Amino acid sequence: MSRNCAPRRLVIAACVSMVFHLGCATWLPTGEEPNPIKHGFAPTPPSPESAGIETILVRLDQQQSQRLPELWAQIDEQVLAPELRIALDRNGMRAGKLSANLPLLLEDWIRETVRRIGEDPLEQTGFAADISSFSQLWRCRANSRKELTLRKFATEPATVFYVEGTTKARTYDSPHFLYSIQAAPRGDSSATIRLTPELQYGDPIRKVIAREAAIRTDMRRESVAWEKLTIDLKIQHGQCILIGPTTESRGLGEHYFHTKTQNGDIQPVLLLVRLSESNLDDSFARK
């Protein structure tokens, strides 16, 4: 092994630790908040018609997961249509909206996530579990689409159960579980956020892409989107959408909101999506 390998690994781990720490810290209301991880190659000023969306994944240990009913009692789930709440529940998911002030219980869990990332090298490098706790900032223009990865299996297949009237099952090779994110900024410091669970699988295949009077080929994997589980909500600046698993692990929730740790433990995961900024000029707001 080269002499330079060990120092190089230490430098990489230190950089990853700093980036992850900065990302998580923005969710805590203590002191001046640093900026979360940004997508893109270089900092650019926000578009006048874009929304800044922050996401964070919070992994819970056994003791924390026992208090999930206490957390959900503080979440507004009635903001979703009854049909959507039923569909989510049948597939092992639940969701709701939070105010700008997070419940103290959730703040404690995020604070614990920050501590864990700062102290555990496996957390810093993303090897502690197959879902990593991290925070990201997405710049979303109207009609643009972003992809938030939850779990990604390199080689092994996964059997996925989906309930829509009846239970359907299918085994997917090398599945990539993700949420697509779309945001439409409004003129009143709000935005409409659209979140859809999707899955990409199999080997990449060449496809013809037609867009804006141009035709090109691209290597893409097959995909499926569960549109009937889409969450489409208008939220104000600072408000959050919370998505997580039901108490009993089942359906899509088993794969999207549960993770396997290095120790072999299965832990529930929460996804928070927050509107951090909405830059649509009031003069262009829809009436």
Judged by average pLDDT, the poorest of 100-104, 170-174, 195-199 is 100-104
Q: What does the DSSP 8-state code read for residue 179? A: E
- Whether 143 has a pLDDT exceeding 70, the answer reads yes
Q: What would the pLDDT profile of 112-142 be if each residue is shown by its tens digit?
A: 988 888 888 988 888 899 998 878 888 888 8
pLDDT band at residue 269 under the 50/70/90 scheme: very high
The Cα 237–Cα 276 span in angstroms is: 6
Longest CA–CA separation in the chain, Å: 65
pLDDT tens-digit readout, 154-179: 888 999 999 988 999 999 999 999 99
Instruction: State the pTM of this model.
Output: 0.81
On the CB side of 3, CA atoms within 13 Å amount to 0
CB 27 within 8 A of CB 110: yes
pLDDT greater than 60 at residue 3: no
- Provide the pLDDT confidence category of residue 199 given band limits of 50, 70 and 90: very high
Across 6-15, 20-29, 156-165, 259-268, least confident range:
6-15
- Mean pLDDT across the chain: 82
Give me the residue spans of the domains in the chain.
Answer: 7-197+224-284
Share of the chain above pLDDT 90, in %: 55
| H-assigned helices in the chain | 5-25, 62-65, 68-72, 82-90, 104-119, 121-125, 253-256
Rounded to whole angstroms, the Cα distance separating 209 from 3 reads 47
At 67, the pLDDT band (50, 70, 90 cuts) reads: very high
Tell me if 58 sits within 8 A of 103, measured CB to CB: no
